[in-house]
Structure 1
């Protein structure tokens, strides 16, 4: 008998074909088809999707669940310790988002530095009446200092663009040294306070965890130059949004480019929306057709591999396999 899989978000046809070739697949959106989703969980051996906090309620409804495959690089929607305790493997898609998210990070750096959104809006209001002057001036990006908080895959891709494309000096703060980036891009490790004080552009790319929640707060923002720009493509909760709003409003930093927010979608009455020195985009780090399809295909293959006992580097918690064995040992 085939194992059962639940797709709780719409998948591209190519990803569905990978799963339908081997498993009984039920497509039931967790938001709009909740009853069908919960019913399908009862017999599910695997799930695939994104943007759903797969909490204890859902896991309790899925006694046969072996694998959870998320169509995302981040996995803060999941209680990894609880999944591991239950013997459920979690897989993600870290590699597919790297270059696309790095592109967006640099787009936000450039758009904020050169005030693209602000000046675009000015033109649309009919305010362009003469040659550009100080009122339209931005700041240079090339040959400035870029500080990267979290030099993983995406951070390294941003560092490559900065060093090789814009002649920038690269500083980074990380839990461990990234020797490859140091050798390839001349990146220099430094403590976070030093990075904040010296960087012209501060890029936030750490995953969300208890250790990184509100990592950048009022005290950290006070360390930054008044001419510095903050760019966040990590998670909104890594930056204290109220403190950032105050710093932007008061001119204590020059600007910000934000792809992520504490509350998503960002409410229209958020004070950030009223500030001219911030560029806002709706969590689009991986949002290209090519990347989203590649992520879905990878997530489908991850699910199939894990259900067949093949754990790859995309497995977040390989120790879940040992926990599952213990759970099914006679006497347990």
Structure 2
């Protein structure tokens, strides 16, 4: 087994301290192929970790490989990149309760590049002494921007107009003049004023001058104060 000490610089990978200078933690990487790593980062990873690329046809095969003597029987960590965004491992949930129960005792940390943790069985991971890590702020802005695009689309029917252009029926889109409206002054309802909900509300209130209402288990006065015009 190994322990990891965190460096002060966020641009450096953790240094590994093992039972011998040559020991590297074995990391099972489930690559969803969204974005490739830079050469410099790949070099850092190769220098500090022994990477095993996941290539199972299904999770049952993964469980077999985690059994004593199997290819994954001595892994220290599991990392999923691009968190459930592309094939071929889209439906392979390695953080579910039954999968966690199959982990070898060497696994101490699992990580995914995603916002939430709904796909992970946190109680079972905790009971096994396994740390769960995610990246909660990495896609806040991009998701909020997408939400703004969708708000504009449902008000102005951009998707329908674009479709008319593609099928050479531009004249059909002229009917939108009687139904399309501008979102300015409209009310935006946000369910859950978390980081993405707040970012979307801020953009909608600032750029589109929308009124914001939100629903959640409790009021968030600090978040309300960050929205131009406030929120209810």
Aligned to 2:7: none
Aligned-residue Cα RMSD (Å) equals 2.6
1:113 partner SS: helix
- Pick the aligned partner of 1:53 from 71, 93, 96: 93
User: Of the two structures, which has the highest relative contact order with CA contacts closer than 8 Å and spacing of 6 or more?
Assistant: 1
- Pick the aligned partner of 1:44 from 55, 75, 93: 75
Aligned partners of 1:147 and 1:170 also within 8 Å: yes
Length-normalised TM-score, structure 1 = 0.51
Aligned partners of 1:150 and 1:173 also within 8 Å: yes
Aligned to 1:106: 148
2:48 partner SS: coil
CA distance in 2, matches of 1:97, 1:43: 32
Give the superposition deviation at 1:153: 0.6
Aligned to 1:89: 131
Aligned to 2:8: none
Aligned to 1:207: none
2:125 partner SS: helix
Give the superposition deviation at 1:61: 3.9
Gaps of 5+ in 2: 1-22, 85-91
Give the superposition deviation at 1:30: 4.3
CA distance in 1, matches of 2:172, 2:125: 61
Paired residues for 1:286-305 under 5 Å: none
Which 10-residue stretch deviates more, 80-89 or 171-180? Answer: 171-180
Aligned to 1:171: 213
Aligned partners of 2:157 and 2:176 also within 8 Å: no
Measured at CA, do residues 40 and 10 of structure 1 come closer, stay the same or move farther in structure 2, by a change above 3 Å? farther
2:117 partner SS: coil
Gaps of 5+ in 1: 190-332
**What does the per-residue CA deviation read over 1:165-195, in whole Å, with 9 as the maximum and x for residues that have no partner?**
1111111112232222221213323xxxxxx
Paired residues for 1:1-332 under 5 Å: 1-9=23-31, 12-14=36-38, 16-31=42-57, 38=66, 39-49=70-80, 50-51=83-84, 52-54=92-94, 55-59=96-100, 60-129=102-171, 132-133=174-175, 137-185=179-227, 186-189=229-232
Length-normalised TM-score, structure 2 = 0.71
Aligned partners of 1:7 and 1:48 also within 8 Å: yes
CA distance in 1, matches of 2:119, 2:173: 49
**What does the per-residue CA deviation read over 1:133-181, in whole Å, with 9 as the maximum and x for residues that have no partner?**
4566312211211111011111111111111111111111122322222
Measured at CA, do residues 87 and 107 of structure 1 come closer, stay the same or move farther in structure 2, by a change above 3 Å? same
| Over 6 Å off, 4+ runs | none
2:114 partner SS: coil
